[in-house]
């Protein structure tokens, strides 16, 4: 799409099934629909939701390309999607712009869906679809702005710390630790919503999976920062061995003999 390869992960089918069932039951109760009609509406909502996620990721991808960063592709999966780039942003400013492009797209889509909700008659199918899309996009925008890696807000925090300290690795490590705090907060919020019966039972395992994914992603970011910080300490010249040039067809034993003679002290 727009020159960006799109990949669909098999786990996305589980997300589609979960959202279809949950939304179909909601639509059946709210609009007094038949079972078949409710599930058709659920499928339509899933398609709209995945389209919103795709546009969110395209925001990242097109902004990255605008600043000369190659994009390997967009993958849609169980927890939404992600954009794979071939290198890091060259500056904190570019890192900030690329990270905020996705939430900005979701916010615009949410605002458009809110306007559609207000314009459509209450209690109608189109009104309910517009309302759910508005809620979904606003939630996606706000959740992704939480300041912890691997979320978009975490990348924005990394860019800010990078700009202040002039050290990308410090920015990554700080945003990674905040990401772990966000993961713990997600678990706590999920438990509170579940106890107060404000979270659908089918959504509980998905939210816990989100928290685990955030924790793992944050941990990977912290480890990557620590490893990358050591790269300047490695002297590649000491690791490299000089090349011994020999004529084509020279037997291996002869090449090894010449190499050994070359290593002997005079």
First to last CA, the chain: 65
According to DSSP, the residues that pair with 77 across neighbouring strands are 80
Phi, psi dihedral angles at 74 (to 5 degrees): -115, 135
Catalytic site residue from 57, 173, 254, 261 = 57
Contacts 24+ apart (CB under 8 A), 132-139: 132/23, 132/45, 133/45, 133/48, 133/49, 133/52, 133/109, 134/110, 135/110, 136/49, 136/52, 136/110, 137/52, 137/106, 137/107, 137/109, 137/110, 137/113, 138/106, 138/107, 138/110, 138/114
DSSP 83-128: EEESS--SSHHHHHHHHHHHHHHHHHHHHHHHHHHHHSPTTSHHHH
d(CA 96, CA 85): 15
Q: Closest Cα to residue 204, out of 219, 218, 186, 216?
A: 186
Q: Is 84 a catalytic residue?
A: no
According to DSSP, the residues that pair with 83 across neighbouring strands are 74
Tokens standing for residue 156: 């924005």
> DSSP state, 144?
H
Positions marked catalytic: 57
């Amino acid at each position: 799409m727009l020159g960006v390869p799109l990949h669909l992960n098999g786990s996305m089918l589980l997300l589609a099934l979960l959202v279809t069932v949950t939304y179909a039951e909601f639509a059946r109760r709210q609009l007094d629909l038949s079972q078949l009609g409710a599930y058709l509406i659920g499928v339509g909502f899933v398609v709209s939701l995945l389209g919103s996620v795709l546009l969110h990721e395209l925001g990242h991808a097109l902004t990255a390309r605008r600043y000369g960063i190659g994009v390997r592709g967009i993958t849609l999966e169980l927890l939404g999607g992600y954009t794979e780039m071939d290198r890091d942003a060259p500056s904190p400013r570019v890192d900030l712009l690329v990270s905020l492009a996705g939430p900005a797209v979701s916010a615009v889509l949410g605002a458009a869906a809110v306007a559609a909700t207000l314009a459509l008659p209450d209690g109608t199918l189109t009104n309910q679809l517009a309302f759910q899309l508005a809620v979904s996009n606003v939630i996606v925008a706000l959740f992704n702005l939480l300041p912890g890696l691997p979320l978009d807000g975490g990348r924005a925090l990394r860019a800010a710390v990078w700009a202040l300290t002039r050290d990308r690795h410090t920015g990554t490590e700080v945003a990674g630790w905040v990401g772990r705090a966000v993961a713990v907060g997600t678990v706590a919020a999920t438990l509170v919503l579940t106890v107060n019966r404000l979270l659908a039972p089918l959504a509980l395992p998905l939210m816990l999976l989100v928290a685990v994914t955030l924790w793992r992603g944050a941990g990977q970011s912290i480890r990557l920062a620590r490893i990358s910080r050591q790269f300047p300490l490695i002297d590649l010249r000491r690791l490299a061995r000089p090349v011994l040039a020999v004529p084509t067809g020279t037997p291996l034993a002869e090449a090894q003999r010449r190499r050994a003679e070359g290593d002997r002290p005079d």
